[in-house]
Chain A
Amino acid sequence: MLQFSKFVAIRASLAILTLILVSFIVFTLMELVPGDCAERYVAFKNSQGAVISIADIEAERIRLGLNKPYVQRWGVWIINAFQGEFGDSCILRLNISQLLGQKFWLSLGLCLTSLMVAYIIAIPVGIISATSNNRVLNNSLRLVSYLGLALPNFLLALMVMLFSTVMFGDSLTGLFSKEFRDAEWSYERVMDFLGHAWLPIFILGWSATAFAIQTVRALMSDEIGKLYVTAAEARGVSGRRLLMRYPARHALSPIINSLGFDLNRIFNELPIVALILTLTEAGSLLIEALARSNDQQLAGAIIFMLTGSIVAINFLTDIILALTDPRVRRSIVG
């Protein structure tokens, strides 16, 4: 127990250290964007007809604290970020946590569901393809997983849209029907959401599934040839019982370990898929912030939150692994 809590403490501090490094990278990126928030505020006032001068911009900078040294501003930003407070958006001039709130959880939910769907498909399929000697099955699975690599999600989304527009005259886009877009959460809204969400989940899960099938397959075929499996077979264990009790359990831990990076891959595709399917969640806000309006505060907040959830998933998977596998516990603590 002591060993376990020591492990958790070490992992937690590592995770926080990673987050601090990430925040530094993200903050530096935000600083590098040409122009700053003060200029944007004042430019907005200018567009409303107010006459402005350099002095106004300077005053705005002081009000926003932009005249303070770089490291100090980073420190303030990170302390606020850990409390879930990212300040105001430069362009939309709204509180970011308010702006993002529900949208971010919606995106995270979409991504996690895709990840889950990917593994629900990949684990049985991967195990079957690793154990069966059927050439046709193996080769077709291989082709599917190659296609998963070659056909990136956004091209898949485009193809689905093309197909559905030509066949059904409906492009299947959006996350909510018109009447539910700004409604309160209710049973009907949830149902409406699920009716729309299957497509982004399928598209986001597409290449993740291909990757996962390959991983599961490779791990299983590595484990199946090992001596302990033969030994178990000699003891008379066979069939599904053999697979589930021995090689599958061993193959599972690297998979749990890589969940964080799978999530990373799904996040990668999220903004572009969101753009194509006109989803209204964090991914499309990110594109909006970066491509259209250079809103560095908002973009930084989104990237930080995405990365934060990956770090959190990595932390959680490590804890789960440590609970199930004593070797992992010992590996860090020594």
Chain B
Amino acid sequence: MTDTSNNQASTDQKLKEAYFTASQGQLIWQRFKKNKSALFGAWVLIILILSGIFAPFLTPYDATISGRDKDYLNGAPQIPSFCDDNGCSLRPFIYSSERTRSIETSFRWVTIVNTELEGRRYLEFFVEGSEYTYLSFDINLPGEALDFRIPGFTFNTHLFGVDKGMIHIFGTDSTGKDIYSRTLTAINTSMAVGTIGVFIAFIMALVIGGISGYYGGFLDSSLQMITDTVRTIPSIPLFMALAAFIPDVWSAETRFLFISMVLGLIGWPTLARRIRTHLLTERSQEYVLAAQLCGASSSHVIRRHLLPSFTSYIIVDLVISFPYMVLSETALSFIGLGLKDPVNSLGVMLQNVTSADVLLNYQWYFIPVIFFITLVLAFVFVGDGLRDAADPYSDSHK
């Protein structure tokens, strides 16, 4: 009897010790785990990011024009099924289809679906298909001798495919590109744009907010003036103005880099303001004074004392600002000022959907939207959960 209560007390003691000696990261993680919706969002986010990274394996075809199916333009999604009028099969199958034009169709191109037994295409797993590479870099420095190439790893296995012809589970667009393959690749693009944008915005915010918060005074007022002005200009019109400078001759990859940079260059003011406010309150604390009296330089105080005091806030802010970068890119690409083919992104995929033809006849063009709303929602949930978890007083609020 006493033994169990002793045990109880010692585990309690251990729990308490664990709580008091836990690092900030551990504490945040503890609180974050309790938040079910945020945890769920985190799982969804991880799955989406992984499916973006492994998109070449998970999707049957290349997302660019080289993976097009010229026999199935504007094709409806093909859902594999097990049974039809000709009986059932253990292997799921889809029907093959053909584009023909003859006197019966008034010489218009018409897609005819072959529902006979021989028209079946059976689903297969781990099929060989188009090649894709990971970790392959081409580095082009000025001078012949400095060019070098890391070949990386080349694979050609895809998760699924069909025995003959092609399968398009989300349908195809007007050029016959597989929408499913494009969607997963687009997740990658969005993540890359977001990462570069957030990174640039973060560096600028850190420098500008840091200087203005740490030194204060006249420097602070003038920097704040500039920050406020940039914040006043509506950002998407500003994006549009900046993106309009891109010469037509730039390659899709250069465009991509430029757009991500522009997103970062405009996204910094909010974060900068927050860093400044935090520094302003922190710099008058005793530990900063103590460090200064010990003769620490400004940069030392900022790096070793001030920055660690709000790392968690910065991380949370970065996660929260991520979806805005992604959405801005989408909006920009959508109106044709952002990314362009062959770089895939949701905005690029949605470029032509406002026509009545698409709205009435090809609604599967909108399938990628579901993925993106999920991606952004997951980010918002995780960001919100992290914000609550990083706030040491969040428990006392409730």
Contact = CB atoms under 8 A, between A and B. Distances in A.
B331 interface: yes
B317 to A, nearest CB: 15
Interface string B178-211: 0000000000000000000000000000000000
Contacts of B334: 154, 272
B377 interface: yes
B360 A22 contact: no
A276 B360 CA distance: 15
Contact of B331 (A29, A34, A272): A272
Contacts of B372: 155
B238 interface: yes
B376 A286 contact: no
Contacts of A268: 234-237
A136 to B, nearest CB: 14
Contacts of B242: 29
Contact of B229 (A18, A150, A221, A271): A18
Contact of B231 (A162, A261, A303): A261
Nearest to A283: B237
B47 interface: no
B22 interface: no
Nearest to B320: A149
Contact of A290 (B241, B350, B356): B241
Interface in A196-222: 221
Interface in A116-175: 146-147, 149-152, 154-155, 158-159, 161-162, 165-166, 171
A260 B237 CA distance: 16
B225 A21 contact: yes
Nearest to B236: A268
Given A268-B237, A306-B237, A32 B225 contact: no
Nearest to B383: A149
B327 to A, nearest CB: 5
A291 B335 contact: yes
A311 interface: yes
B247 interface: yes
A157 to B, nearest CB: 9
B363 interface: yes
A171 B240 contact: no
Interface bin, chain B: 35 or more
A287 B247 CA distance: 17
Interface string B240-255: 1111110100000000
B244 A33 contact: yes
A314 interface: yes
Nearest to B379: A150
Interface bin, chain A: 35 or more
A291 B244 contact: yes
A59 interface: no
Contacts of A299: 240-241, 244
Contacts of B336: 291
Contacts of B384: 146
Interface in B212-238: 225-226, 228-238
A81 to B, nearest CB: 14
Contact of A303 (B233, B245, B359, B360): B233
User: What is the interface of chain A mostly: helix, strand, loop, or mixed?
Assistant: helix
B120 to A, nearest CB: 31
A55 B360 CA distance: 53
Nearest to B238: A303
A154 B236 CA distance: 12
B377 A146 contact: yes
Contacts of B288: none
Contact of A149 (B234, B353, B380): B380
A34 B241 CA distance: 12
Contacts of B331: 152, 154, 272
Contacts of B344: none
B354 interface: yes
B192 to A, nearest CB: 19
16 contacts: A18-B228, A29-B242, A33-B244, A151-B376, A158-B369, A161-B359, A162-B366, A269-B236, A275-B354, A286-B240, A290-B337, A291-B240, A291-B336, A299-B244, A307-B232, A310-B234
Interface of B: 225-226, 228-238, 240-245, 247, 323, 327, 330-331, 334-337, 350, 353-354, 356, 359-360, 363, 366, 369, 372-373, 376-377, 380-381, 384, 397
Given A22-B233, A25-B229, A268-B236, 19 more contacts: A18-B225, A147-B377, A149-B323, A149-B376, A162-B366, A221-B397, A261-B231, A276-B354, A290-B243, A291-B240, A291-B336, A291-B337, A299-B240, A299-B241, A302-B237, A303-B234, A307-B232, A310-B234, A311-B232
